[in-house]
Copies of this chain bind each other. A is one copy, B any other.
């Protein structure tokens, strides 16, 4: 039985779904000869870990379930796990932020021995948080033998080139599929193409489910303000919809793809078009005022959609990675092109390369959702079992 230890950073949302899937797939993993042992779980307030020096190798499934319940109820993990803390089964570190201690925690887990099997196991540090500050910790973690890193968090991939290079210098112990398109095999395919020497010439993609929903609404002739208000009401947007409409999430995904092609770019090199003007930015007004001001933009969007339509085109919010540059914003695409035919919140990525030159390689499907994203993360963890 191959034992893969996991240290999970971020256990709400995607991280929570990952814990659920680890627990519910125990039997199937056993049939595949693998066991995922959760050595520790961090959220933004605390680190909870199995009490290794007292002989506890990993956190029990019933504790993992309790953590999930605590997170769902908005309670602290340590509060819920108090009993196990008192019994010396768990150790908690309440110092916020956990970043400072993470380096030592990783080292101590790597040094520790499985007290049952008298063996050392590798460790996969899984980042499902949205934190930027942990990126250097991850880049140094992956330098340790037997330590792998898996990301759902995009930020370590879009941090400084120094951090990026650190992560990529041990590319065989590093996976990040879920950072673009959730579970879609976009990064996996780019990795395969680059490794085999296929020359990628252009990547164009609709990479935000939220903005896909907005653009489909505009295409149907609805006012911009209506569509954004609906998207917020349905929970498709961040609490402040400007976090989606500014396009920064799509910009990060564009940069992740471009860097994989070997392009030495940083976030400030990505040309990003925001779907709202600076005058409506958080610097000048609250989220509520922004929502009330949305109607100001309706006429401009109606006009742009009409213009595109007259040319047989559709307006899409897309990332275009081409000729050494990344552009993110509104593009007018032919109605019958793959991007033009896209509807709703699905992601779609077109890759043009030496192999896929006549017509592009297309990957399309749900590109968000905790369950789907966690599935991509879990596949990455299992894919690392030969090197961890």
Residues of A within 8 A of B (CB): 21, 24-25, 28, 32, 172, 177, 183-185, 188-189, 192-193, 195-198, 338, 341, 344, 346, 354-356, 358-366, 369, 371-372, 375-376, 378-379, 382-383, 385-387
Contact for A372 among B189, B195, B355, B360, CB less than 8 A: B355
Within the complex, what minimum Cβ distance (angstroms) separates A124 from chain B? 14
Chain B positions within 8 Å of A189 at CB level: 185, 188
Query: Is A379 touching B346 in the complex (CB atoms < 8 A)?
Result: no
**Distance in angstroms between the alpha carbons of A366 and B355 in the assembled complex:** 8
Query: Is A188 touching B197 in the complex (CB atoms < 8 A)?
Result: no
Of all chain B residues, the one with the shortest Cβ separation from A357 is: B366
Contact for A21 among B196, B364, B366, CB less than 8 A: B196
Given A21-B196, A188-B188, A189-B185, the answer on whether A366 and B362 have CB atoms closer than 8 Å is no
Contact for A375 among B183, B355, B385, CB less than 8 A: B355
**Copies of this protein chain in the complex:** 2
Within the complex, what minimum Cβ distance (angstroms) separates A207 from chain B? 15
Write 27 A-B pairs (CB below 8 A) sorted by A numbering.
Answer: A21-B196, A24-B197, A25-B196, A32-B195, A177-B192, A183-B355, A185-B189, A188-B188, A188-B189, A193-B379, A195-B379, A195-B382, A196-B375, A197-B375, A346-B359, A354-B371, A355-B369, A356-B366, A358-B366, A361-B365, A362-B362, A362-B363, A362-B364, A363-B363, A363-B364, A386-B386, A386-B387
Chain B positions within 8 Å of A371 at CB level: 354-355
**Distance in angstroms between the alpha carbons of A366 and B356 in the assembled complex:** 6
Q: Which of A355, A359, A372, A378 has the most CB of B within 10 A?
A: A355
Chain B positions within 8 Å of A387 at CB level: 386
For chain A, what secondary structure do more than half of its interface residues adopt (helix, strand, loop), or is it mixed? mixed
**Distance in angstroms between the alpha carbons of A354 and B371 in the assembled complex:** 9
Q: Which of A197, A378, A383 has the most CB of B within 10 A?
A: A197
Within the complex, what minimum Cβ distance (angstroms) separates A168 from chain B? 11
Query: Is A197 touching B359 in the complex (CB atoms < 8 A)?
Result: no
**Distance in angstroms between the alpha carbons of A196 and B364 in the assembled complex:** 19
Chain B positions within 8 Å of A193 at CB level: 183, 375, 379
**Distance in angstroms between the alpha carbons of A62 and B240 in the assembled complex:** 63
Task: List 17 other contacts, CB 8 Å, given A192-B379, A195-B382, A362-B362.
Answer: A21-B197, A24-B197, A28-B197, A183-B192, A183-B193, A183-B198, A185-B189, A192-B376, A338-B364, A354-B371, A355-B372, A356-B365, A356-B372, A358-B366, A361-B366, A363-B364, A364-B364
Query: Is A188 touching B184 in the complex (CB atoms < 8 A)?
Result: no
Query: Is B378 touching A196 in the complex (CB atoms < 8 A)?
Result: yes
Of all chain B residues, the one with the shortest Cβ separation from A369 is: B355
Chain B positions within 8 Å of A172 at CB level: 385-386
Query: Is B188 touching A185 in the complex (CB atoms < 8 A)?
Result: yes
Of all chain B residues, the one with the shortest Cβ separation from A387 is: B386
Contact for A361 among B177, B184, B196, B356, CB less than 8 A: B184
Chain B positions within 8 Å of A365 at CB level: 356, 359-362
Chain B positions within 8 Å of A341 at CB level: 341
**Distance in angstroms between the alpha carbons of A371 and B360 in the assembled complex:** 15
**Distance in angstroms between the alpha carbons of A258 and B55 in the assembled complex:** 44
**Distance in angstroms between the alpha carbons of A230 and B198 in the assembled complex:** 31
Chain B positions within 8 Å of A25 at CB level: 196-197
**Distance in angstroms between the alpha carbons of A25 and B177 in the assembled complex:** 25
**Distance in angstroms between the alpha carbons of A172 and B360 in the assembled complex:** 30
**Distance in angstroms between the alpha carbons of A275 and B67 in the assembled complex:** 58
